[in-house]
Structure 1
Amino acid sequence: MFSPPTLDELFAASHVVSLPMRTKFRGVMEREVMLFDGPAGWSEFGPFLEYGDLEAVRWLASAVEAGWLGYPEPVRQWVPINATLPAVPVELVPEVLGAFDGVHTVKIKVAEPGESLRDDAARVGAVRHLLPEAKIRIDANAGWTVPQAVAALRMLSVFDLEYAEQPVATVPEMAAVRRAMGGSVLIAADESVRKVSDPLAVARAGAADLIVVKAAPLGGVGRALDIVAEAGLPAVVSSALDSSVGIRTGLALAAALPELPFACGLGTVALMAGDVTGTSLLASVGGMSVRDVTADPDRLEYFAAAPERQQWWRERLRRCQALL
């Protein structure tokens, strides 16, 4: 039987880094994560700073699984990857997308605070103009009400959307939007899967056409695979603005799924101006090969978080480890 690492073992294996961003994403210009040099390989504990311990503990479970147990055997060695476009001004669209090699699919952030539907339409239109053959998906991060979502999707559907991710907050609202759209735009559930106590509720309610799964917020690759199997819906694997170590976990999930009908959101290292390895997991020709990642000691030192931030993460680790 597997015995999880003790708190002292986690402390001994841990490194806290602060990685600079090329452009603001989720309102931050630096991404803090804690890494572990575990017996099965490197792993990442990176819940966003505002997340409470009950949510963050699932991220720790994922890191322990990856670093102390390892990953399941892959069924594929290559995973298609989408480019991710933050809510940047239209004039920056070519520059941001230029960081992604061989773009065939683009996920565009919409419904950001302070942004209007006009801003969203201009950003999506700029991508469609720049990449007329690409698949385009949008992600509202639950930023709309039902009427706003329906109006926005009807407007943005002229750009031939692959799907709309989490347009509204709750499962009943998701179901209402899906009914209103009548199949003209597919609806994908993200927060309704990874931020709730019952990740299968969205499937039972018929509230989505597909689900977005992220290994760390769901408690690890094994748990995510179970959720996809039980949901019975097509799945898209995505990341949570991870370093290459964290992306490796998402890549393991994508590589182990029986079916992978959509490009995965695992290309976000391209949005960072620094990484913990010299061989970053970046998409090439629209995809990514499955391989392991080892953090570089010099980079761990260079990007080490300030002492007070390291202490903050150690205290967070202490609290979350007690909840495992």
Structure 2
Amino acid sequence: MRIVDVLAVPVQAGFFFDDQLAIRAGAAHDGFDYTGGPLTPGFRRVRQPGEAVSVLLLLDDGGVEFGDCAAVQYSGAGGRDPLFAARDAIAVVEQVVAPALRRTDLAEGFRTVSARVDALTTGPDNSPLHTAVRYGVSQAVLAAVARARRTTMAEVIRDEYDTGAPLVPVPLYAQTGDDRYGNAEKMIIKGVDVLPHGLINNVAEKFGQSGEILADYVRWLVGRIRDLAPSPEYRPRLHFDLYGCAGLAFKVGQDASTDTGLDTGIVALAAYLADLGAMAHPYDLAIEHPIDAGSREAQIATYRSLRAALKARGANVRIVVDEWCNTLDDVRAFVAAGAADVIHVKTPDLGSIGNAVTALLLARDAGLEAYCGGTCNETDRSAQVSAHLAMACEATQVLAKPGMGVDEGLMIVGNEMARTAALVRARETVRP
């Protein structure tokens, strides 16, 4: 089966682009919007509509397969590619990607074709294609190869990368957005495996100058799990994303070192997180991006220090890396340094799905937790492809996406995993 042509179509993303720098600097809510001006280059305002592009592969059997180019909510932050623009992406797909893919024989396999796309360049400086473009095109290629082989996308990944995965649904992780109370209750009633994310992206409003706002929320959440649990056996994992707010509140990197050689802010933060872990009992606690150290090297060093301080206290807290761990090389560096307990493989930031596969397997094989994540700002299609990716790589958890409504993301990702697992079981049952 061959690719006959490639189309690029602007479509809706699942949420918004938000200027993380402006929000962390204190941009206040104005209803659903934010006050003030943007700080990150490329933004017209602090919150603006997300954009996405569908890449359609027209095949010589008359069929069509597609993937969606999408970028994360907090584009341009933490070492990521700049803000994604659909108009620019369409031009790149039409002028660079389409000529490279026309007449491609899908018998070459996903790894070969997607690697070719990943190596494409654009512009006078021969820059790599935007990660969002590589993400969407590789989804389309994966779907087309699966069509040619008459298998699921999960089976293509499992077989080409020899993952040995059983292709069963993995735990779902949902995010509340700013409705951190009502949406958390939805998650509990539905028995979500990992919750609530919490969107703790502002010190004054959501974390507290000494972490008191988050501590109150953890106490409330533990109580509501007790009240609303769908069964006595329900034991969700608690996972909060702090967007660097803890480091700001505890002045990490701003105070002199202690006699132990650790920054006094790290020592204070470790004590706080250890207390938070005790509050979360009997549930496991994971904290994502507690500190933003400003670069990959600084982030690795800071997280190593924080993990050491937590270990010294015997704290039941796992550290999740997000910002400054965007590319495959970044993931390799964090894994090699032992700088996190959980690696958030933020799928749009890795570019090709093939890079996300390699990143998840690196974390898994190193004995770390491999979190197949992404963003609320993706699309239904990229979420479905991520479900196959998570299953094929035995991810520790997969993000329910897109959107911030909880129910939609749980439905899209959860249903795709259920259907895929059923198809794989059915085929294995009828094999001679």
- Give the TM-score normalised by the residue count of structure 1: 0.70
| Cα separation, partners in 2 of 1:67 and 1:273, compared to 1, 3 Å | same
| Cα separation, partners in 2 of 1:76 and 1:281, compared to 1, 3 Å | same
Aligned equivalent of 1:37, options 56, 64, 68: 56
Which residue identity lines up with residue 119 of structure 1 in the other structure?
A: I
Q: Say which SS state the counterpart of residue 78 (structure 1) adopts.
A: coil
CA distance in 1, matches of 2:69, 2:222: 36
Q: Say which SS state the counterpart of residue 275 (structure 2) adopts.
A: helix
CA distance in 1, matches of 2:362, 2:192: 31
Q: Say which SS state the counterpart of residue 187 (structure 1) adopts.
A: strand
1:59 and 1:216 in contact (8 A); partners too = yes
- The answer to whether structure 1 residue 52 and structure 2 residue 82 are counterparts is yes
Q: Tell me what 2:339 maps to.
A: 207
| Cα separation, partners in 2 of 1:124 and 1:38, compared to 1, 3 Å | farther
1:46 and 1:59 in contact (8 A); partners too = yes
Higher relative contact order (CA 8 A, sep 6+): 1
Query: Which shifted more, 149-158 or 47-56?
Result: 47-56
Which residue identity lines up with residue 140 of structure 2 in the other structure?
A: G
User: How many pairs does the alignment contain?
Assistant: 275
Q: Tell me what 1:172 maps to.
A: 301
Q: Tell me what 1:76 maps to.
A: 167
Q: Tell me what 1:136 maps to.
A: 238
1:192-243: CA deviations, max 9, x gaps? 4226853211122221122111222112322122123334233011121122
Q: Tell me what 2:214 maps to.
A: 120
CA distance in 2, matches of 1:65, 1:35: 12
- The answer to whether structure 1 residue 98 and structure 2 residue 229 are counterparts is no
CA distance in 1, matches of 2:13, 2:341: 36
Matching of residues 4-43 of structure 1 within 5 Å? 12-17=7-12, 19=14, 28=47, 30-39=49-58, 41-43=65-67
Q: Tell me what 1:109 maps to.
A: 198
1:259-304: CA deviations, max 9, x gaps? 33x33222444627989xxx960547xx94255xxxxxxxxxxxxx
1:66-102: CA deviations, max 9, x gaps? 11343451541423212212344xxx51345426733
Deviation of residue 61 (structure 1)? Answer: 1.1
2:286 and 2:319 in contact (8 A); partners too = yes
Q: Tell me what 1:306 maps to.
A: none
| Cα separation, partners in 2 of 1:25 and 1:240, compared to 1, 3 Å | farther
2:174 and 2:196 in contact (8 A); partners too = yes
Deviation of residue 18 (structure 1)? Answer: 5.1
- Give the TM-score normalised by the residue count of structure 2: 0.54
| Cα separation, partners in 2 of 1:29 and 1:151, compared to 1, 3 Å | farther
CA distance in 1, matches of 2:320, 2:301: 14
CA distance in 2, matches of 1:136, 1:127: 9
1:232-260: CA deviations, max 9, x gaps? 23301112112211211221210111x33
Q: Tell me what 2:357 maps to.
A: 225
Q: Say which SS state the counterpart of residue 68 (structure 2) adopts.
A: strand
Which residue identity lines up with residue 171 of structure 1 in the other structure?
A: I
Which residue identity lines up with residue 33 of structure 1 in the other structure?
A: A
Quote the sequence identity (%).
18
Aligned equivalent of 2:275, options 146, 155, 171: 155
CA distance in 1, matches of 2:369, 2:411: 28
Unaligned 5+ segments in structure 2 are: 17-30, 35-45, 59-63, 84-126, 144-152, 159-165, 227-234, 253-264, 293-298, 421-432
- The answer to whether structure 1 residue 256 and structure 2 residue 376 are counterparts is no
Q: Tell me what 2:405 maps to.
A: 271
Q: Say which SS state the counterpart of residue 17 (structure 1) adopts.
A: strand
Deviation of residue 180 (structure 1)? Answer: 0.6
CA distance in 2, matches of 1:120, 1:29: 27
Unaligned 5+ segments in structure 1 are: 292-324
